[in-house]
Amino acid sequence: MCLVKNLKQYQPYMNKLERFLVFCSGAYLPLVKRCPGSIHQFIGIGGTVLFTAVFAGLSVGYALFTIFESIYTILAVGIVWMLMIFNLDRYIVSTLKKERNFYRN
C-alpha cells in the first residue's frame, strides 16, 4: 500500500496533459495522486492507449481514402473508429489484474 502519510504536504503537480494521459490509462486520478511513484507508469500506459487509437484512426482513414472520395465520410468513420479503439483499449487496460504467478498473467 503506498499511501502518503500527509496528503496535504505532498501533492504531486500534474499538468493537463499528464492528467489526460492518466485518464487514458483508465486509472482513478485521486488514487494515483496518493501513489506519486506510479504516476509515470500510468502516464506511459495512457500514452500507449492514446497513440494506439490515433494510429488506428489514421490507418482506417487511409484505407477508406482508397475507396471513397468524400473526405467527410472518411473523417466521420475515422473518428468513430478511433474512439471505439480508444474506449476498448482503455477498458482492457483498466480491468487487467496483475497476478503473482507468471503463468497466470
Other CB atoms within a 10 A radius of the CB of residue 40 amount to: 11
Note the pLDDT of residue 65. 92
Domain residues for the domain of 72 are 16-94
Note the pLDDT of residue 15. 86
CA distance 55 to 35: 31
CA distance 85 to 43: 18
Note the pLDDT of residue 51. 96
For the chain, what is the domain count? 1
5 within a domain of the structure (yes/no) = no
What residues of the chain score a pLDDT lower than 70? 1-12, 102-105
74 within a domain of the structure (yes/no) = yes
DSSP for 47-76, written as a single string: HHHHHHHHHHHHHHHHHHHTT---HHHHHH
How far is CA 88 from each of CA 11, 56, 105, rounded to the nearest angstrom? 31, 12, 20
